[in-house]
Structures are given as structure tokens and as C-alpha cells.
Chains A and B, each alone.
Chain A
Amino acid sequence: MSVLVPETVQKTVLTGAQTIAPHVRRAGSRYRFGAPGWLLALATICAAAATIPLVYLVVRTSEAGLGELVDTLLRARVLQLTLNSVLLAVTVTVSCLILGTASAWVLTRVRLAGGRTLLLLAALPLAVPSYLAAYGWLVWFPGLNGFGAAWFVMTAVCTPYVTLPVAAALRGASGDLQAVARTLGRGPVSAFWAATWPQIRPAAISGALLVCLYSLSDFGLVAMLRFQTLTWGINAAYGASFDRNQAALLALVLVVLALVVVAGERKSRGQVERGGGRSTLPVLAPGRWRTPLVTLVLLAPLAGIAVPILGLLSRLLDAATLRAVDVPRLMEAVGATLALALGAALVAALLALPIAALAARYRGRLVSAIEAVGFLGHGLPGIVVGLALVFFALAAVPALYQTSIVLVFAYVVLFMPRAIGSMRSGIAAVPGSLTDVSRMLGYSPLVTWWRVTARLALPGIGVGALLVAISVMKELPATLLLRPTGVATLATELWSRTAVFEFGAAAPYAAALVLLAAVPTVILSGIRGVAKEES
């Protein structure tokens, strides 16, 4: 998602064809002494929020003796769970990268009727909670289980994380180079690889990062489809044996995996290569390829949303006991879900901003460390972050325990990473020359930041906040642990009904949840819509 904005922003800003060196490159000469202390301090404070789960895990783990730790770590099962987690994360990431990039290419380079609708459909799987998607598939194919099933459904729900940013990047990318490569005799794939891929690589990689962390940390889908990963082991340790030490140890293994992934992403992200500003995109006529291309784009939405929703509907029609929908109660859950999602999106954006500003403008080990720490929460399952905040809130702010404030804070820890990436790219794409001009015209740093940087980076900030909002609406375990007693969200209401087989009663909540999460998804897909490009 993270690069949804910069290219488009750049395009808005630069209508000429001059090349602007990325701001990052100027950083060295301008800020000879690295990042200003106050920004480092602020970003460190914000990143500190994300370390709460880590502190908790270390405290819990250290309660177990060294012998117990080694025993647990060396158990064959831990190795098996770790391998399963890695296998799922790697395969899902690769397939999302391929399918997402291909879909994005079709959506931006091929003239298809209803392109705007197709883009919207491609984004929609984001609105479906992973556990609902898995459940919907099980209605049709009750025997689905194991790695293949988990890989397939996970890929379907995660592909938009790649499709959306890559589509945005492609729209901003120059098509000239690819045309040149083609005239020089390269085949289409080779030309794409040589000319287009370097321009969309940062977008694709940061999308892949979200996919990878998501598949490492998700529990609902792997539990439904019976593929035993580390999150399964963590939940089992909490649940069956009440062994919080072992759960914490498994979670630490997950943290290590997540940090490796984040470090890898940062390394491979590299410098953003920017071609010339606006270019006329070669929009190809699909010809006889129309059907296969449309099918390709629709694969993820078909598997991630159409099949599961139809499954849920059929289960609803089968239910012998259809109860009247309790409308006030449904509305109350909608209200609570909306309020929590908006609150968390706002706070997550505020906390992610300093980290993003730092990571966008400066490099270095400390900056990398702060950014990596900001991503921690995303690699952990909700139950771990939930319990960590129970621990933290009771120790630090007992008065706030089981209030919406702590719950919102938990959401922020879990989902801030989704905001950091897009905000970082948004800020990085604001050309330094513009802020320089503003300063030369006599505007203060405050006015410059507000009128130039913030304004141009606003779409990136908005994208980050929307992603947080979508995720909050779907989140379950942390909500169950931390919500104020008596407060119900759509996800908890859905859970409490499916838990007792009341699929008839659950259906309105499932429908409301998907509809509500679809609203920010639609906005996301429309932020730089195809329609706008075409008009």
C-alpha cells in the first residue's frame, strides 16, 4: 500500500518532465549531522508503544527457567510449527506478489470495459475477515484442510495488499522505457522486467511485506483450515494448558521471524528510482485476451469474497431457526465498530507520523531500528498483543484498564505498521525543492510543513489510516480481551453467534461487517481511480 501515493503526488506536483532526485539523497548533504534530535526522540517514543508486546514476552519468557526454555525450543513440534509458519508466509507472499502485480498491470495497462469496477472488485477481499473467508470455503468444501487450503485462501484475501499499491505505482510510472525496450527487440516479459519492474519494485515489496507479516500472524484462517502454524501453537498454549510461558516463547520465535522479514524488506527496498514525471501510458487493447485477463483480475475477488459470501448465504438459507434481527443491537455494534475504527485510525496515524517522517528523510542504523520496531505488532497474533496490554495497562494505567482508550491503543500497536509504510512513501515523495522554495519565500518551517509537506503527503496519510480502520473492524482476539465490559463490536457479535451454531442469527452481523469494511476499501481503491485517469 505504501507507494499508493508518491508517484501520483509527484505527478500532481511535477507536470514537467524534469527528474527530481529523491529527497533521501539530499539528506546527507543537508543534514550533515543526521536526523534532528527532537524527531529521533519523538519517533522513539512512538515506536516504544510497539515494544510493549516485546517487553511482555521477555518478562513472561524469563519467568521460565533456562532449562525449560531450551527444552521447549528443541521440541520437534516447535520446529514443525516454525517451518509451517515460514512455508505459509513465503508461499503466500510469492503468490500474492505474482498475482497482485499481474492484476495491477492488467488494470492499468489494458483497456478493459468497466476498469473502475474491476479495480474496486480487486480491492474488495480486504473487507473480508480471514476467518469468514475460510468458513465460507468450508461450507462448499468441508474437507478442505492443510497447507494447500490455507495457502489458497490466504492468497485470495491478501492479494489486494499488492494489487493496490502496484496499480498506483504503475499509473505513475513511465511507460516510455518499456516502449523503448520493446523497439530494441525485447519480448514483452523481458521489457517489463528491464523497464517497468524497477519502477514498481518498492510498491510491490512494501505490499509483500504486509502480506508476509499478515500470514505469519493470522490465526482465524489457519485454525479453520487446520494448518498448524506458530499462531496455532500460541493459542493452544494459552488455551489448553494455560501455559503463558510457552505461549510467550512461541511468540518470541514469531517476533524473530517478523524482524527478519522487516529487515529484509528494508534492505531490498533500496533507493526509489524515479523516471520522468507524466507520460502517456500505452493502453493496450485486450483483443482475444480479454476473457483470460479479466479472469486473472477476478481470481482473488472470486476466491476471497464471492465464494465465501455465497457459502455463508446458503448456510443462512439452510438454518432451521431464523430469528428476527435485533436491529437496535446490530446498530449498537455498528456504532461501536465505527467509533473504535475511527479512533484507532486517527491515533495510529498520529503515532506513525514521526516514524514515517524519520524513515522517509533519513537513513542509518538507528532509523532502521526505530522503523523495524514500529512494525513489531504486525507480526504478532491479536491474543499476544491483547494480553501484553492487559499486563501493561494494569501495571502502568490501571484506571484505564478495560476502557476504550486501552483497546484503541492495542489496535494502534497491532496495525500502526500498515500506516507507517504508506505515510513514509507519501512524505518521501514530496520534493525537497518545494520545501526549499517555501522557505526561501520566507515561510516558517511550521507553515512549510503544514502547507507543503503535510498537504502533499495527505493522501499517503489517508491511505494508512484507512488500512488501520479496515483492520480494526475485522479484529477479534484483542477486542475480546480488552473491550470495556458490555461493549460489543460486529466481530465479537459474529463470534458469539457462530460459537453456538446460530448461523442464521450470525448472518446479519457478517453482512454488516463486510459492508462496513467495504466502505474504506472502496475509498482506497478509488483514491487514484482509473476513471480519473481516463477522464
Chain B
Amino acid sequence: MRLSIPLTALAAGVTALALVGCSTTSATTPTDTAASSEADGSFTLYSGRDEVLVQPLIDMFEEETGISVEVRYGNTAELGALLLEEGDRTPAQVFLSQDAGALGALSNADLFATLPAETTDAVPAGFTSTDDTWVGVTGRARVIAYDGEKLSADEVPTSVDAFTEPEWSGRVAIAPTNASFQAFVTAYRVLNGEAAADAWVADLVANSPQIFDNNRAILSAVNEGVVDVGLLNHYYWFAQAAEAGAENMRAQLSYPEAGDAGSIVNVTGAGVLKGAANDADALEFVNFLVSPMAQEYFVEETYEYPLVAGIDAPAGLPALDSLVNPDLDLADLESLSETQALLGKYGLI
């Protein structure tokens, strides 16, 4: 028993510490918060969108309504996985997501409350959920970023089909694990059929694409001249241009022609968690996101497309209706698992 007394003492100390922790924190347990569904002047938001972009908007909301918002910032994918793990024990009342894929996954897991029709009706049908479990907030176009020093605008294809040609071998950057890329492949399947999609993915893989982890890394690589073209969402360019100066951007954007799968417009959005179904504060925030004030904020600060009628698109961007594919509804993009099977078949994910 040479070590017993001090080690037991240590163990007792740790236990005591843990107990003290229990007693001091039990007043604000997450389950308590989740259970309170009436308006109590505050709620918790999980934000998959970046703090620098979103916090000023939240400050505006707090000032306007007097409701205080506890925000937990993180990356959309990680917060999505977190919400799935937390299930109905989540301390969150609202989830603001960077892409529709995460919202769809949470909706499929039955984690969202149904939103009132007046909230979801603020956004045109193609840009929101079909079952009113979440609402689209802003639009983001798929674009082709190209190296402006090596290529001129008219050398950049207007259809993603061109990138399986030998001349683009090893020159195209993609992020196959990224939700936006997968939504685009789903659009390709819906628009052109399974066989064509299978052939396109197979040919693309055979053409040695450069694989990246995310859109941001693709844009940096194009901007540094490492790859010639990359498939990504439009607003990344504007975010980087805001830091580096638009005139210093080597990467340039090209918008594929409407009707091409490469031109789809995806959305960001928000949903209310089930435990907060009756939380008036949470709902007020979601309504705020689709109000003219918030929509204008997104236009000016993040260069995303507003989804609410009567707000102008950011200057310098093609009009939203010139990109929107008439044959495609965002609700058609639900067959994500088939897309993942296809990408898995060719070793992309």
C-alpha cells in the first residue's frame, strides 16, 4: 500500500472538484434551456456561418428586439454533426447553416420544428425546404474560377462538360467532399440522367483533377496560379477580394450558362430545433433573417443573392434569374446519398 493514501486523496480531490463543478453549473443546464419554449428574451444560436460576417447582423437584431442571442460559432459541417449527436438534448434553438445539405441532413433526422407558412412564404419556392422545416436565407451561385493571367474570359468553358476533355487534364480543381460540390453533382444527375452523370464523373476522375479540401483552398490555389480553373461558389471570391483588394485578384470568375448543371444556385438557410418549436424569440430571429434589413445586410457584406422579392442583387453580379435553371428545383437535390455512392464508386470520397 505504498502509494495508496496520496493517490486516494488525489482521486477524492478530483471527485470533489467535479462535484463542485456540478453544483455551480447545474443552474444553467442545457436541458433546462431547451425545455423552456416560451419567449424569455434570449435564445441560443448555432452559427455555421463565420463570426466576422454574422455578428454585426446579430447585434442589429439584438438592438432592434431586445432579445439576447447566445451564439456558438463553428464550421457548418462540424455543427451539423454536433446537432445530430446532441439530438433532442441540444442547447440550441436555431441553426444557421452555410449550405442546404446540412439543413437537409438535420431535417431528415427529424430535428427541426415546422416553421409557420408566413415565414417560409417570404422566400420563393425553389429556394427553401419543401416541408417548411427550414427557410432559405441567401443564394450562392456555382461558378468557375480561373487564372486570369493564363486564361482569357472567352477561353473558359461555359459548361462543366468541357472539363472532361484532354486539354483540361490535371488543370481542374474540385472539392468532392464539400457539400456544394455534391449538390452540383446531384443537379447533374437530375438534369442529365444517371448514366450521363456516371460518365461525367468517370471522365473527370480519369482527367486527373486536383483534389482540395474546400472551396477556399481552391480559390487560393487558382489565385496563386497553382491550378488553372476551379469549381466553387461565387462569394468566396468576393470575401477574398475584400481582404486583398479586388484589383489584386489573379483569380477571376466565370458564370456557366443557365441550363448547365454547373450554374446551379444553392442557398444558405436556417431552421428552428424541435425543442424550441414554440420559442417566440427563436422564430423572431428566423423571421428577421428573411426581412429586408437582414437581406440587404447580406447583399452588402457578403455579396450573396437576396432571396426576398424587392431587394437588388449585389452590384457586379449577373441577375439571379439569368442563372437559375428553369428545369431544376432545389427540392430536386435531395438524392444526396446516390450522389455520394457515385462519388465513392470513383474514389472521390
Contact = CB atoms under 8 A, between A and B. Distances in A.
Interface of A: 36, 38-39, 42, 45, 75-77, 80, 138, 142-143, 145, 223-224, 226, 228, 232, 235-236, 238-244, 318-321, 347, 350-351, 353-354, 357, 383, 387, 390-391, 394, 397-403, 405, 435, 445-446, 448-450, 453-454, 477, 480-481, 485-486, 492, 496-497, 499-505
B340 to A, nearest CB: 5
Given A240-B178, A318-B244, A453-B3, 15 more contacts: A45-B11, A142-B221, A240-B77, A242-B105, A350-B13, A391-B85, A399-B29, A400-B21, A400-B25, A402-B91, A403-B21, A445-B3, A485-B44, A500-B239, A504-B243
Nearest to B219: A501
A449 B6 contact: yes
A145 B227 CA distance: 12
A286 B199 CA distance: 64
Given A496-B51, A501-B239, A241 B349 contact: yes
Contacts of B74: 480-481
B5 A445 contact: yes
9 contacts: A39-B7, A235-B177, A239-B78, A239-B80, A240-B178, A350-B10, A399-B22, A399-B25, A486-B71
Contacts of A75: 344
Given A240-B101, A503-B243, A403 B211 contact: no
A84 to B, nearest CB: 12
A220 to B, nearest CB: 10
Interface of B: 1-8, 10-11, 13-14, 18, 21-22, 25-26, 29-31, 44, 50-53, 70-75, 77-78, 80-82, 84-87, 89, 91, 101-102, 105, 177-179, 182, 210-213, 216-217, 220-221, 224-226, 239-240, 242-245, 248, 336-337, 340, 344, 347, 349
Given A142-B226, A319-B243, A320-B243, A239 B3 contact: no
A486 B349 CA distance: 34
Contact of B243 (A242, A383, A502): A502
A398 B89 contact: yes
B6 A226 contact: no
Q: 9 closest A-B pairs (Cβ-Cβ)?
A: A239-B77, A142-B224, A236-B177, A242-B105, A445-B2, A320-B245, A501-B243, A405-B21, A485-B72
Contacts of B248: 320
B14 A347 contact: yes
A350 B14 contact: yes
Contacts of B21: 400, 403, 405
Given A485-B72, A504-B243, A399 B26 contact: yes
Nearest to B85: A390
Contact of A383 (B3, B78, B210): B78
Given A241-B340, A400-B22, A446-B5, A226 B349 contact: no
Q: Looking at chain A's contact residues, is the secondary structure mostly helix, strand, loop, or mixed?
A: helix
A403 B18 CA distance: 11
Contact of B6 (A450, A480, A492, A499): A450
A228 B91 CA distance: 34
Nearest to B248: A320
Contacts of B179: 239-240
Nearest to B179: A240
A445 B1 contact: yes
A242 B80 CA distance: 7
B127 to A, nearest CB: 21
A255 to B, nearest CB: 19
B344 A77 contact: yes
A398 B3 contact: no
Nearest to A487: B72
Given A347-B14, A445-B1, A500-B50, A485 B70 contact: yes
Contact of B10 (A142, A240, A353, A503): A353
A39 B220 CA distance: 54
Nearest to A496: B51
Nearest to B80: A242
A138 B3 CA distance: 51
Nearest to A138: B220
Nearest to A398: B31
Contacts of B337: 241
A497 B52 contact: yes
Contact of B2 (A354, A383, A449): A449
B42 to A, nearest CB: 12
B78 A480 contact: yes
Contacts of B224: 142-143
A431 to B, nearest CB: 15
A471 to B, nearest CB: 20
Given A77-B347, A399-B29, A501-B239, A238 B2 contact: no
